[in-house]
Amino acid sequence: MFLRWENLVTGFAKSNPLNQPFSGEISEPGLYAILGPNGCGKSTLMRTWIGLMNPLSGTSQIEHCNCKHSRNDTPCLGYVPQFHRVNPHFSITVRDLVRQGLGRTVDGEGLARVEKLLLEWDIMGDAGRPFHELSMGQKTRALVARALVSQPKLIFMDEPLASLDAHCQNVLINALKDLVNRTQICVLIIDHHLEHHSELLDGYFIFQREHYLDVCTIAFSRDRGTPIHTEGSDLEC
């Protein structure tokens, strides 16, 4: 089990929940996607899963992670935010940014992993440059490396493809698929649409909104024999 949630309802106010209660779990490694239009609650669901927001009701649990805001020393999940979340006024080199993924426990082994990831994700040549001078593709790769450096089993990515051209999108998705196959981890991606890459996904949720103000229903694709299981009153499974 990587991630399990029960009767989860997300949103900002009890009077305006973003989804119907639903339960489910992700039990197998793979590349998963949460798809849907703007404003339907994809990011809110992800932020609730990783503990940056409290659920309106229900629970969610990440394997081996009892920390609400990850107070223990080793980060138990990886998070790749959109790169505009990195303060543009703060000058940080790519190497220092990736090191932040180690959290507060910086040891020789961790630093060696930083160097290895810089090489693996093809940003070693820019390791000494300020993060904000990089191209969009390089920035995304640096943020992925930062998320991977603590060797998490579960990685959440918030619209990593949003600012990339078709070529960079392909490179990134293929690299992520390769990563999943090699290390047997679980990667969850938020995006508006991933039609071009659906053959690489192991499963995806689709947020649907029939009327503008309706609560979203979450449809779930299991056509590829995916190991995600969900149940809920309004799910179209």
- Contact residues: another protein, CB under 8 A: 50-52, 69-75, 77, 79, 81, 85-87, 89-92, 96-97, 100-104, 146, 150
Q: Which residue has the tokens 């798809």?
A: 35
**Count of C-beta atoms within a 10 Å radius of residue 195:** 7
Nearer to another protein, 17 or 75 (CB): 75
Alpha-carbon distance of 71 to 132, in angstroms, equals: 29
Please compute, for residue 117, the number of CA atoms within 13 A of its CA located in the half-sphere on the CB side.
27
Give min distance, CB of 214 to another protein, in A: 22
Give min distance, CB of 201 to another protein, in A: 24
Give min distance, CB of 125 to another protein, in A: 22
Best CA proximity match to 221, nearest among 12, 36, 95, 13: 36
Best CA proximity match to 175, nearest among 149, 144, 154: 144
Nearer to another protein, 97 or 228 (CB): 97
Nearer to another protein, 58 or 110 (CB): 110
Give min distance, CB of 78 to another protein, in A: 9
Nearer to another protein, 147 or 201 (CB): 147
Give min distance, CB of 217 to another protein, in A: 28
Give min distance, CB of 79 to another protein, in A: 5
Alpha-carbon distance of 144 to 96, in angstroms, equals: 14
Decide: 156 and 188 in contact? Cβ < 8 Å: yes
Decide: 120 and 13 in contact? Cβ < 8 Å: no
Nearer to another protein, 58 or 103 (CB): 103
Strand ranges in the chain using DSSP code E only, listed in sequence order: 3-9, 22-26, 30-35, 57-62, 78-80, 154-158, 186-191, 203-208, 217-221, 228-232
Decide: 190 and 34 in contact? Cβ < 8 Å: yes
Strands 203-208 and 30-35: parallel
Give min distance, CB of 106 to another protein, in A: 8
Nearer to another protein, 150 or 230 (CB): 150
Nearer to another protein, 89 or 167 (CB): 89
